[in-house]
Amino acid sequence: MKEIKIGLIGTGFMGKAHAIAFNAAPSVFELPAKPVCELLADVNLSMAKSRASAWGFSRATDDWRALVADSDVDVVDICSPNFLHKEMALAAIAAGKHVYAEKPLALSAADADEMVAAAERAGVKTLVGFNYIRNSATQLAREIVLSGEIGELIHFRGRHNEDYLLDPQKPNDWHTLRATAGAGALGDVGSHILNMAEFLTGQRITSVCGQLQTVIPMRPKADGSGMAQVENDDQAQAMLRFSDGLIGNIETSRVAAGRKMGLAYTLTGTKGAIVFDQERMSELQLYRHEGPNGRRGFTTLLTGPEHPDYAAFSPAPGHGLGYNDQKIIEVRDLIEGIVNDRPLYPDFREAARVNYLIDAIEKSDQAGQWVTV
Amino acid sequence: MKEIKIGLIGTGFMGKAHAIAFNAAPSVFELPAKPVCELLADVNLSMAKSRASAWGFSRATDDWRALVADSDVDVVDICSPNFLHKEMALAAIAAGKHVYAEKPLALSAADADEMVAAAERAGVKTLVGFNYIRNSATQLAREIVLSGEIGELIHFRGRHNEDYLLDPQKPNDWHTLRATAGAGALGDVGSHILNMAEFLTGQRITSVCGQLQTVIPMRPKADGSGMAQVENDDQAQAMLRFSDGLIGNIETSRVAAGRKMGLAYTLTGTKGAIVFDQERMSELQLYRHEGPNGRRGFTTLLTGPEHPDYAAFSPAPGHGLGYNDQKIIEVRDLIEGIVNDRPLYPDFREAARVNYLIDAIEKSDQAGQWVTV
Amino acid sequence: MKEIKIGLIGTGFMGKAHAIAFNAAPSVFELPAKPVCELLADVNLSMAKSRASAWGFSRATDDWRALVADSDVDVVDICSPNFLHKEMALAAIAAGKHVYAEKPLALSAADADEMVAAAERAGVKTLVGFNYIRNSATQLAREIVLSGEIGELIHFRGRHNEDYLLDPQKPNDWHTLRATAGAGALGDVGSHILNMAEFLTGQRITSVCGQLQTVIPMRPKADGSGMAQVENDDQAQAMLRFSDGLIGNIETSRVAAGRKMGLAYTLTGTKGAIVFDQERMSELQLYRHEGPNGRRGFTTLLTGPEHPDYAAFSPAPGHGLGYNDQKIIEVRDLIEGIVNDRPLYPDFREAARVNYLIDAIEKSDQAGQWVTV
Amino acid sequence: MKEIKIGLIGTGFMGKAHAIAFNAAPSVFELPAKPVCELLADVNLSMAKSRASAWGFSRATDDWRALVADSDVDVVDICSPNFLHKEMALAAIAAGKHVYAEKPLALSAADADEMVAAAERAGVKTLVGFNYIRNSATQLAREIVLSGEIGELIHFRGRHNEDYLLDPQKPNDWHTLRATAGAGALGDVGSHILNMAEFLTGQRITSVCGQLQTVIPMRPKADGSGMAQVENDDQAQAMLRFSDGLIGNIETSRVAAGRKMGLAYTLTGTKGAIVFDQERMSELQLYRHEGPNGRRGFTTLLTGPEHPDYAAFSPAPGHGLGYNDQKIIEVRDLIEGIVNDRPLYPDFREAARVNYLIDAIEKSDQAGQWVTV
Q: Are residues B127 and B274 in the same domain?
A: no
Q: Are residues D32 and D158 in the same domain?
A: no
Gap from A265 CA to chain B (nearest CA, Å)? 14
Integer angstrom CA distances of residue A9 from A6, A12, A71: 10, 9, 16
Mean pLDDT value across residues A22-37: 97
Gap from D123 CA to chain A (nearest CA, Å)? 30
- Is A341 buried (19+), middle (13-18) or exposed (0-12) by CB count in 10 A? exposed
In tens, the pLDDT along A103-141 reads: 999 999 999 999 999 999 999 999 999 999 999 999 999
Mean pLDDT value across residues C168-181: 94
Contact C257 D287 (CB under 8 A): yes
Domain final residue pick, A131, A150, A167: A131
Domain span including residue A102: 3-131
Contact B257 A237 (CB under 8 A): no
Answer yes or no: are the C-beta atoms of C126 and C85 closer than 8 Å.
no
Q: Look at residue B222 in the predicted model and tell me its pLDDT.
A: 87
* B interface residues, D as partner, C-beta within 8 Å: 140, 286, 292-302, 304, 306-307, 317
Which residues on chain C are in Cβ contact (under 8 Å) with D257?
A: 150-151, 268-273, 287, 289
In tens, the pLDDT along B325-334 reads: 999 999 999 9
Q: Are residues B234 and B246 in the same domain?
A: yes
Report residue D39: phi and psi, to 5°. Answer: -145, 135
Q: Would the pLDDT of D1 be above 90?
A: no
Q: What is the pTM of this model?
A: 0.97
Is residue B343 one of the residues assigned to a domain?
A: no
Which residues on chain C are in Cβ contact (under 8 Å) with A301?
A: 294-297
In tens, the pLDDT along B146-164 reads: 999 999 999 999 999 999 9
Which residues have CB under 8 Å from D110's CB, separation 6+? none
Mean pLDDT value across residues D262-266: 98
Is residue B104 one of the residues assigned to a domain?
A: yes
CB atoms within 10 A of CB D343: 10
Gap from A259 CA to chain C (nearest CA, Å)? 24
Answer yes or no: are the C-beta atoms of C260 and C163 closer than 8 Å.
yes
Which residues on chain A are in Cβ contact (under 8 Å) with B213?
A: 154, 247
* pLDDT confidence bin for A302, thresholds 50/70/90: very high
Q: Look at residue B282 in the predicted model and tell me its pLDDT.
A: 98
Tell me how far apart the alpha carbons of residues B370 and D299 are, in angstroms, rounded to a whole number: 39
* pLDDT confidence bin for B310, thresholds 50/70/90: very high
Question: Which of C235, C270, C287 minimises the CB distance to D154?
Answer: C235
* A interface residues, D as partner, C-beta within 8 Å: 1, 13, 16-17, 19-20, 23-24, 26-28, 30, 53-56, 162, 164, 259-262, 278-283, 302, 304, 313-325
Q: Are residues D89 and D143 in the same domain?
A: no
Q: Look at residue D222 in the predicted model and tell me its pLDDT.
A: 87
In tens, the pLDDT along B237-282 reads: 999 999 999 999 999 999 999 999 999 999 999 999 999 999 999 9
Helix C45-55 to helix C13-28 angle, to the nearest 10 degrees? Answer: 20
Q: Are residues C66 and C168 in the same domain?
A: no
List the one residue out of C173, C177, C199, C182 whose CA is nearest residue C110. Answer: C182
Which ipTM did the prediction report? 0.97
Element (H, E) at B136: helix B136-147
Question: Which of D294, D304, D307 minimises the CB distance to B304?
Answer: D294
Q: Would the pLDDT of B1 be above 90?
A: no
Q: Are residues D123 and D167 in the same domain?
A: no
Which chains touch B (3+ CB pairs under 8 A)? A, C, D
In tens, the pLDDT along C285-339 reads: 999 999 999 999 999 999 999 999 999 999 999 999 999 999 999 999 999 999 9
In tens, the pLDDT along C68-120 reads: 999 999 999 999 999 999 999 999 999 999 999 999 999 999 999 999 999 99
Tell me how far apart the alpha carbons of residues A147 and A353 are, in angstroms, rounded to a whole number: 24
In tens, the pLDDT along D152-188 reads: 999 999 999 999 999 999 999 999 999 999 999 999 9
In tens, the pLDDT along B86-116 reads: 999 999 999 999 999 999 999 999 999 999 9
Q: Are residues A141 and A290 in the same domain?
A: yes
**Interface contacts B/C by beta carbons within 8 Å:** 138
**Interface contacts C/D by beta carbons within 8 Å:** 111
Which residues have CB under 8 Å from B19's CB, separation 6+? B8, B37, B40, B51, B55, B56, B57, C27
Contact C296 D258 (CB under 8 A): yes
Q: Which residue of B has its CA nearest to C18?
A: B27
* pLDDT confidence bin for C244, thresholds 50/70/90: very high
Tell me the three state secondary structure of residue C82: helix
* Residues linked to residue A87 through DSSP beta bridges, in sequence order: none
In tens, the pLDDT along A246-293 reads: 999 999 999 999 999 999 999 999 999 999 999 999 999 999 999 999
* pLDDT confidence bin for A359, thresholds 50/70/90: very high
Is residue A338 one of the residues assigned to a domain?
A: no
Gap from C18 CA to chain B (nearest CA, Å)? 10
Is residue D322 one of the residues assigned to a domain?
A: no
Is residue A326 one of the residues assigned to a domain?
A: no
Which residues on chain A are in Cβ contact (under 8 Å) with C304?
A: 293-294
Question: Which of B20, B261, B280 minimises the CB distance to C28?
Answer: B20
Q: Are residues D7 and D123 in the same domain?
A: yes
Contact B317 D140 (CB under 8 A): no
Domain final residue pick, B131, B165, B200: B131
Contact D324 A323 (CB under 8 A): no
* C interface residues, A as partner, C-beta within 8 Å: 140, 286, 292-302, 304, 306-307, 317
* Residues linked to residue A182 through DSSP beta bridges, in sequence order: none
Q: Look at residue D275 in the predicted model and tell me its pLDDT.
A: 98
Instruction: Dump strand ranges (E) for chain C.
Output: 3-9, 34-41, 59-61, 75-78, 98-101, 126-128, 153-161, 205-213, 218-220, 227-229, 235-242, 247-253, 262-269, 272-277, 283-288, 298-302, 371-372
* pLDDT confidence bin for D322, thresholds 50/70/90: very high
Gap from B151 CA to chain D (nearest CA, Å)? 16
Q: Would the pLDDT of A18 be above 90?
A: yes
List the one residue out of A360, A356, A353 whose CA is nearest residue A211. Answer: A360
What is the tally of structural domains in chain A?
A: 2
Is residue A280 one of the residues assigned to a domain?
A: yes
Contact B163 A289 (CB under 8 A): yes
Instruction: Dump strand ranges (E) for A118-234.
Output: 126-128, 153-161, 205-213, 218-220, 227-229
**Interface contacts A/D by beta carbons within 8 Å:** 138
Q: Would the pLDDT of C1 be above 90?
A: no
Q: Are residues D165 and D250 in the same domain?
A: yes
Gap from D151 CA to chain C (nearest CA, Å)? 10
Contact A323 D313 (CB under 8 A): yes
Gap from C98 CA to chain A (nearest CA, Å)? 36
List the one residue out of C266, C210, C259 whose CA is nearest residue C236. Answer: C210
Top residue of B143, B150, B296 to mutate, by most chain D CBs within 10 Å, is B296
Give me the CATH number covering residue D270: 3.30.360.10
Q: Are residues C268 and C156 in the same domain?
A: yes
Is residue A69 one of the residues assigned to a domain?
A: yes
Domain final residue pick, B113, B131, B149: B131
Instruction: Determine what percent of chain D is predicted with pLDDT higher than 70.
Output: 100
Gap from C22 CA to chain A (nearest CA, Å)? 29
Q: Would the pLDDT of D277 be above 90?
A: yes
Contact B257 A150 (CB under 8 A): yes
Q: Which residue of D has its CA nearest to A322?
A: D322
Mean pLDDT value across residues D282-305: 98
In tens, the pLDDT along D110-137 reads: 999 999 999 999 999 999 999 999 999 9
Q: Look at residue C347 in the predicted model and tell me its pLDDT.
A: 98
Q: Look at residue D118 in the predicted model and tell me its pLDDT.
A: 98
* B interface residues, C as partner, C-beta within 8 Å: 1, 13, 16-17, 19-20, 23-24, 26-28, 30, 53-56, 162, 164, 259-262, 278-283, 302, 304, 313-325
Contact A322 D323 (CB under 8 A): yes
Gap from A336 CA to chain D (nearest CA, Å)? 15
Is residue C115 one of the residues assigned to a domain?
A: yes
Give me the CATH number covering residue B123: 3.40.50.720
Task: Catalogue the long-range contacts made by C87-91 (C-beta closer than 8 Å, 24 or more residues apart).
Answer: C88/C9, C88/C64, C89/C115, C89/C118, C89/C119, C89/C126, C89/C348, C90/C114, C90/C115, C90/C118, C91/C65
Contact C257 D368 (CB under 8 A): no
Q: Are residues D178 and D98 in the same domain?
A: no
Instruction: Determine what percent of chain C is predicted with pLDDT higher than 70.
Output: 100
Q: Are residues C41 and C153 in the same domain?
A: no
Mean pLDDT value across residues D132-148: 98
Gap from C243 CA to chain D (nearest CA, Å)? 15
List the one residue out of C355, C175, C330, C193 whose CA is nearest residue C263. Answer: C193
Tell me how far apart the alpha carbons of residues C328 and D157 are, in angstroms, rounded to a whole number: 35
Instruction: Determine what percent of chain C is predicted with pLDDT higher than 90.
Output: 99
In tens, the pLDDT along C264-287 reads: 999 999 999 999 999 999 999 999
Tell me how far apart the alpha carbons of residues B187 and B181 are, in angstroms, rounded to a whole number: 7
Contact C295 A301 (CB under 8 A): yes
Tell me how far apart the alpha carbons of residues C130 and C52 are, in angstroms, rounded to a whole number: 24
